[in-house]
């Protein structure tokens, strides 16, 4: 009787984990590692800043959409948990992990400074800072940026990079698109922003701004990864396996085709 009861209890526990599955997933894809306290409620609460196309933006339905959102949904399906996305300021993402959110996906570059507060998944994308300038600008080298008025999104690697440019005035914005608007309006000499969003912004203002490759400015390659609560190794392991699976089974390439135009 006792044995039957504990079997029944095990059945109930398994069932409660499985109800967390998103639509379309099945029992065999549920691989919840119960050692991860982050996943124990069957919900992955994900912070993002939906101001970074094509990785994240607010879709026509008012909800965050984009490559990263699709990727984290695929990861969660793989883990057999539900996703709840919280849209917030980029600058708040790291400090929200462990309180308001479980993890963050936001085209976030792995940096040593961030590693002091959070862990990172295996990287899923490589990028670089680009320089957006007015179409008639003479800026083309790193030295040309010295002493100029430069715009960026607050708390981003572009922001950190401007801090090191001699004599530059750093204009920080909550949204990169606001910096781009000020560039078009003649209030900035350049905007420093990641390669893919730079391409999107440049095509939105075709003929008005130029998208200059950061390679010509000596900028370094950056790796995007999912930011994770520090020390939850079971979660990191589970998410890394999910990313590897998604890369191997073709899902990742499908998302690249769908979102990176
Ligand atoms: N890759 C840059 C960084 O990590 C910019 C990311 C901005 N992402 C966003 N969703 N606004 O600092």
Which of 67, 105, 110 is closest to 87 using CA atoms?
Answer: 105
| Residue 207 Cα to ligand 1 middle (Å) | 25
Same domain for 198 and 115: no
Residue 34 Cα to ligand 1 midpoint, Å, equals: 31
Same domain, 27 and 153: no
Cα dihedral 77→79→82→84 (10° resolution): -100
- Token pair 């390669």: residue: 195
What integer pLDDT is reported at residue 8 of this predicted model? 39
CATH number of the domain bearing residue 27: 3.40.190.10
Residues 183 and 106 occupy one common structural domain: no
86-135 residue pLDDT tens: 999 999 999 999 999 999 999 999 999 999 999 999 999 999 999 999 99
pLDDT at 32: 54
Q: How far is the CA of 90 from the centre of ligand 1 (A)?
A: 7
Same domain, 11 and 119: yes
Q: What average pLDDT does the segment 154-168 reach?
A: 98
Q: What are the pocket residues of ligand 1 if the criterion is a CB atom closer than 6 Å to any ligand atom? A: 49, 51-52, 56, 90, 106-109, 153, 156-157, 194, 222
Phi, psi of 231 (to 5 degrees): 90, -5
Looking at the structure, do residues 116 and 242 belong to the same domain, yes or no? Answer: yes
Domain range for 77 is 2-125+222-259
Domain total of the chain: 2
- The two three-digit tokens of residue 159, written as one number: 């922001």
Residue 201 shares a structural domain with residue 254: no
Please indicate, yes or no, whether residues 82 and 97 belong to a single structural domain of this protein: yes
Convert the pLDDT of each residue in 9-53 to its tens digit. Answer: 333 333 333 333 334 444 444 455 457 888 889 999 999 999 999
- Co-location of 114 and 22 in the same domain: yes
Distance 35 CA to ligand 1 centre (A): 30
């Amino acid at each position: 009787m006792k044995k039957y009861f504990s079997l029944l209890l095990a059945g109930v526990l398994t069932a409660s984990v499985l109800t967390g599955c998103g639509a379309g997933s099945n029992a065999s894809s549920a691989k919840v590692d119960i050692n991860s306290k982050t996943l124990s409620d069957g919900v992955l609460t994900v912070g993002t800043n939906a101001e970074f196309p094509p990785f994240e933006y607010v879709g026509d339905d008012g909800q965050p959409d984009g490559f990263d959102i699709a990727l984290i949904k695929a990861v969660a399906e793989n883990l057999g948990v539900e996703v709840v996305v919280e849209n917030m300021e980029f600058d708040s993402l790291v400090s929200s992990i462990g309180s308001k959110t479980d993890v963050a996906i936001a085209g976030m570059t792995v940096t040593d400074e961030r590693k002091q507060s959070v862990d990172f998944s295996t990287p899923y994308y490589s990028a670089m800072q680009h320089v957006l300038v007015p179409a008639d600008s003479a800026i083309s080298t790193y030295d040309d940026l010295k002493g100029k008025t430069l715009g960026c999104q607050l708390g981003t690697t572009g922001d950190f990079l401007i801090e090191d440019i001699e004599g530059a005035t750093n204009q920080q914005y909550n949204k990169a698109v606001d910096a781009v608007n000020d560039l078009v309006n003649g209030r900035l000499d350049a905007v420093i922003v990641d390669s893919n969003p730079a391409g999107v912004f440049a095509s939105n203002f075709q003929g008005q701004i130029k998208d200059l490759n950061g390679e010509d400015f000596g900028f370094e390659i950056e790796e995007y990864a999912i930011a994770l609560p520090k020390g939850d190794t079971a979660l990191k392991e589970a998410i890394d396996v999910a990313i590897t699976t998604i890369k191997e089974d073709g899902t990742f390439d499908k998302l690249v085709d769908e979102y990176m135009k």
